Each structure stands twice: as C-alpha cells, then as structure tokens.
C-alpha cells in the first residue's frame, strides 16, 4: 500500500490543492484575503514600475535639452516643447517665479535687469523646494501600500496558521485521539497560510525598497538641478 493511499484513507491532504481548499473556514478566509492582497501588490508593482521608467526617460530628455541650451531663456523655450515631467515642472516653477520678480527679463534683447536680492533668492529657493516636495509626494503615491502589504501579509498568514492549529487541537480534544494521522492534516493545512503570507510579502518588500531607491535618486537629481538653476542665475548676473 503506497503512502498516498494511506494518507487518503486517513483523510490527510495528499496534494497542495488539498491543503489550500481543505482547511478550516478561518484559514480559507485568510487565504482569500492574502490572494486579494497579492493581486493588489502586483498591480501596484506594475504601475509604479511603468511610472518610474517613464520618469527616467523624461529625465534623460530634459537633461539633454538643458545641456544643449546656452542660457536660461533658450532652455525655457526648449523645456516648453517637452512632455510634462517632474524635472520640467520644477524648472518652470522656478522660471515663472523669477519672471514674476523680473518681468520681461528673459525676453530676447531685453535690457539687463537688477539681480535678485538676498530675500528674493531665499524665496526662490523655497519655491523650488516646494516644487520638489510636490513631485516627490506624487511619485511616492502607492509605495506606502506596498510597505503595508509587505509588513502585514506575514502576520496575516501567521494568524491563519494559529487559528488552523487551534481548531485542529480542539478537534483532537473532542475526539480523544492523539494519533499523528489525526494531527498532521490540520497542521499541514494551517501552515499553508504562513507560506502564502510570505509569498505575498516578499515581492512587495523587494519592490518597495527598489522603488524607494528610485524615488531617492529622482529627489536627489531634482535637488541638484535646483542648485544648478540658482547657479546659472548667478552666472548670468541675475542674482
């Protein structure tokens, strides 16, 4: 008599599907929640991956245009022709604020204007920092849910295991049987939720750290660009 025949006769799960669908109501509910969490996690992962790839392409095009420009006025015209991007919005925010302080100074053939005062320069820095923060917050949307899923999924799986094992031991106490064949099926089915929780959590945690690294990279580039923007104003005698 084979092992699978013995397990079938004792009611023990003989396959992974038996363990998935043969557990208690509590473990099945936990598995359903984990399945929904996994689906949500992968949707977020694909969405953020696409978003960050687009931002990297936009950043490369933006920096290429900036390197070719010979001055702020030419750079501003070039950026206006590019698609919307975090880099372009920060640049336009700074340029628009400067234009409000010195109207017409960026037009071709405009007479040299008085440079910005120290107070105006400080306010310009605050405007650029505000634009950077808004872009960083926009890119960070969804990351917190990856962190939550990565943290909560293992705990949810462990809770399902505890509930399943508790139910198994209650059944053993009611039947009065201490045979291993009476214990093993319930324990095996209960442990499936722990495995499921880890399967949900690992991709979410890996993706969260990967995207967080990309977010920090973009934030650093925006901060560096803001400093370069002010430096360009100084080189052109506008500060």
Which sequence spans correspond to the domains of the chain?
15-235
Q: Read out DSSP for 33-70?
A: HHHHHHHHHHHHHHHHHHHHHHHHHHHHHHHHHHHH-S
Instruction: Give me the half-sphere count of Cα atoms (radius 13 Å) on the Cβ side of residue 232.
Output: 20
Quick one: which of 148, 147, 185, 155 has its CA closest to 167?
A: 185
> Among 87, 98, 100, 99, which Cα is nearest to 131's?
87
Q: What is the pLDDT of residues 78-101, one digit of tens each?
A: 888 888 889 989 988 888 888 888
What confidence tens digit (pLDDT) does each residue in 113-155 have?
Answer: 667 778 888 888 999 999 999 999 999 999 999 999 999 999 9
Check whether 5 has a pLDDT greater than 50: no
Tell the burial category of 215 from Cβ atoms under 10 Å away from its Cβ (0-12, 13-18, 19+). middle
Give the range among 53-67, 73-87, 155-169, 178-192 with minimum mean pLDDT: 178-192
Distances in whole angstroms, Cα of residue 58 to Cα of each of 82, 90, 228: 8, 13, 18
């Amino acid at each position: 008599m084979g092992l699978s025949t013995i397990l079938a006769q004792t009611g023990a799960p003989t396959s992974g599907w038996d363990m998935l669908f043969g557990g208690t109501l509590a473990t099945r509910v936990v598995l359903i929640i984990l399945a929904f969490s996994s689906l949500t996690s992968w949707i977020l992962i694909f969405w953020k991956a696409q978003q960050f790839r687009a931002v990297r392409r936009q950043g490369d095009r933006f920096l290429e245009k900036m390197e070719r420009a010979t001055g702020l006025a030419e750079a501003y015209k070039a950026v206006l022709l590019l698609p919307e991007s975090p880099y372009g919005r920060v640049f336009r925010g700074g340029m628009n604020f400067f234009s409000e302080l010195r109207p017409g100074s960026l037009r071709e053939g405009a007479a040299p204007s008085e440079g910005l005062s120290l107070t105006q320069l400080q306010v310009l820095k605050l405007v650029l920092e505000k634009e950077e923060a808004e872009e960083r917050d926009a890119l960070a949307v969804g990351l917190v849910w990856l962190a939550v899923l990565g943290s909560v999924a293992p705990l949810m799986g462990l809770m399902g295991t505890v509930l399943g094992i508790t139910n198994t031991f209650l059944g053993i106490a009611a039947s009065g049987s201490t045979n291993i064949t009476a214990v093993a099926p319930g324990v095996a089915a209960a442990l499936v939720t722990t495995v499921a929780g880890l399967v949900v959590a690992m991709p979410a945690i890996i993706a969260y750290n990967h995207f967080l690294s990309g977010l920090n990279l973009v934030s650093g580039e925006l901060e560096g660009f803001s400093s370069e923007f002010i430096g360009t104003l100084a080189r052109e005698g506008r500060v």
